[in-house]
């Protein structure tokens, strides 16, 4: 059973997502009364949201909704876990999911021989109710039989590990600033003139074979990149934000 403050955190996170930056939250005492809990329990939930930069407190005036931003550390980690660390509730909508023959481009990316099949999955990723990212992932179909019959709305990395025992590590990431095309701008609900962050990455298995290639398009107004000069940990290591 989730701790009471976690339930309050989840509820407040959804509430904040429906508010505008600069809008004032009820006082700590009002929230405690609303949830029938102690001020300490409410304070713990508010501290998580403050650390995640979802809210900002102004001494003597109150607590306000902050302009939302997400810091992306360039290591392999779950989008679901990264949203939790940011005080947001993660979810995904599957745009397309198919099994098809690998194109020459995908064969080159994944190091696949001609004639092999590839899983192509495109998803729209949300933090609370805000569309933040579009992931377009290509996977070696031979590594993940039956994957398309699974629930693809959560973390793909967690699914790969739990169902197939495959743990990925980041092989490379290429970052660029781009303008979204009309389709992607509509999905992210942003103007086509808003710059976005494009991250093209590949990940490998324990036997050093490339198993995943993902192109992620992040909203430029809500993301920043944080790159550390260290080797990338495997999934489950300390991180804040990732793609799949």
- Residues 164-209 have pLDDT tens digits of 999 888 778 888 889 999 999 999 998 888 889 998 989 888 887 8
Q: What pLDDT score was predicted for residue 94?
A: 97
**Ranges 76-80, 86-90, 185-189: which has the least confidence:** 76-80
Per-position DSSP letters for 139-204, written without gaps between them: EEGGGSTTGGGS--SS-HHHHHHHHH----EEEEEEEEEE---HHHHHHHT--TTS-EEEEEEEEE
Evaluate if residue 229 carries a pLDDT over 60: no
Domains and CATH numbers, the chain: 4-65 (1.10.10.10), 70-226 (3.40.1410.10)
pLDDT at 233 > cutoff 70: no
Task: Write the CA distances from 128 to 91, 194, 238, integer angstroms.
Answer: 7, 21, 22
What does DSSP assign to residue 43?
Answer: H
What pTM, to 2 d.p., does this model score?
A: 0.64
Mean pLDDT, residues 89-97 taken together: 90
Mean pLDDT of the chain: 83
HSE, side-chain direction, 13 A CA sphere, residue 71: 13
Residue 72 is predicted with a pLDDT of: 54
- Give the least confident one: 15-19, 71-75, 100-104, 195-199: 71-75
- Please say whether the beta carbons of 25 and 136 come within 8 A: no
Q: How confident is the model at residue 220 (pLDDT cuts 50, 70, 90)?
A: confident
Report the pLDDT averaged over residues 127-152. Answer: 92
Q: Which of 93-107, 198-212, 230-244 has the highest mean pLDDT?
A: 93-107
Share of the chain above pLDDT 70, in %: 82
Torsion angle, CA of 94/175/131/164, rounded to 10 degrees? 30
Report CA torsion sign: 141, 142, 148, 154: negative
Residue 69 confidence (pLDDT): 60
DSSP assignment of 52-91: TTSEEEETTTEEEEPPP-EEEESS---HHHHHHHTT--EE
The distance of Cα 99 from the centroid of its chain, to the nearest Å, equals: 24
Look at residue 224 and tell me whether its pLDDT is greater than 80. Answer: no
């Amino acid at each position: 059973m989730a701790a009471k403050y976690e339930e309050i955190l989840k509820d407040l996170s959804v509430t904040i997502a429906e508010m505008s930056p600069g809008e004032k939250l009820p006082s700590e005492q009002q929230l405690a009364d609303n949830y029938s809990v102690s001020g300490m329990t409410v304070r713990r939930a508010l501290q998580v949201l403050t650390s995640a930069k979802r809210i900002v407190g102004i001494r003597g005036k109150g607590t306000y909704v902050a302009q939302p931003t997400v810091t992306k550390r360039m290591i392999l980690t779950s989008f679901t876990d990264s949203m939790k660390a940011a005080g947001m509730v993660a979810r995904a909508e599957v745009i397309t999911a198919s099994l098809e023959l690998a194109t020459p481009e995908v064969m080159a990316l994944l190091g696949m021989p001609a004639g092999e099949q590839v899983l192509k999955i495109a998803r729209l990723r949300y933090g609370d109710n805000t569309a933040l990212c579009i992931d377009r992932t290509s996977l070696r179909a031979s590594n993940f039989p039956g994957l398309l019959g699974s629930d693809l709305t959560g973390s793909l990395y967690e699914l790969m590990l739990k169902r197939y025992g495959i743990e990925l590590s980041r092989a490379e990431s290429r970052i660029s600033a781009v303008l979204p095309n009309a389709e992607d701008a509509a999905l992210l609900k942003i103007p086509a003139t808003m710059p976005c962050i494009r991250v093209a990455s590949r990940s490998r298995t324990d036997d050093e074979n490339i198993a995943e290639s993902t192109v992620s398009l992040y909203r430029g107004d809500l993301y920043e990149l944080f790159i550390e000069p260290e080797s990338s940990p495997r999934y489950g290591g300390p991180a804040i934000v990732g793609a799949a």
